[in-house]
Structure 1
Amino acid sequence: MTLVVNQQDDTVVGVGNERDGCAYLRVSGLTVSFQQLKLLYKVIFGICLFMLALVMCFMAYDWWEQGGMPDKWDWLDAADTLYAFALMGLTFFCGLMLVVEVVSWLIRRNSVNAARFVFARQMLTLFKQRCGKKAYIQEVN
């Protein structure tokens, strides 16, 4: 076992298992792990898709209430509405991703705890490379 220890309070921040080459990193405090960011992006993207599906359901309900088949103008109106909503959702998604990335970068840059997290990640990455394995590090709470 190779331990990465925080010398300020003698807590174990990371563990490298030399037998199987696995590395584990403990996430704590304001530090946001890359897995948490990926999960956040997936949730935001899912919410945007859900909203688009909801708009499609409302349009289909309006067509059903009218009775009969929708004509050419209904289809064109639906395409225009979906295009505008998809563009708005994509803009919202990208803007929110930008804000999250900037905030997490500022936290990693200005927080001492986050700096220790980044340093421990680099140490464990070097450990994995020395073992000849991929630089994948399991992040645990």
Structure 2
Amino acid sequence: MKVLMFKDSEIWSIFKILAAILHAGNIKYIVKSVDNVESVEIRDTFEIEKVAKLLSINKELLVNALISRSVMIGVERIVSYLTAEETVNVRDIFVKAVYHRLFLHILEKINETINGVRKEGSQNNTISILDIFGFEN
């Protein structure tokens, strides 16, 4: 990464984000039933605390984002809690989105390093990703 001109602080941030992604994948839920209404809670707070700390975000906001959805209707906010299956999907979508943004950031930094200072009208070298549907398996 040093060859690609990443600063020490950038490298450290990348490792923190990767660690947060790994910890987020370990978040487990428990299903509770209160008055015949299913609710989901995070089983162990260790993983969620690690993720929040590594990403420098508020733990309670992260928990709420992973187990509930809120909608504004007029001036009123309606909060509904997700099912067990939905919480797992939201967690996975969150992890994929963070990884995707990190990947794009690294790719952009590599392209900047390859191209150096761009001259107007000059041809640029880039690294691009070709993703063809169906080749995953």
TM-score of the superposed pair, with normalisation by structure 2:
0.36
Give the structure with higher Rg (CA).
Answer: 1
Q: Tell me which of the two structures has the higher relative contact order, counting C-alpha pairs closer than 8 angstroms and 6 or more residues apart.
A: 1
Greater helix fraction, Structure 1 or Structure 2: 1
More strand as a share of residues: 2
TM-score, length of structure 1 as denominator length = 0.35
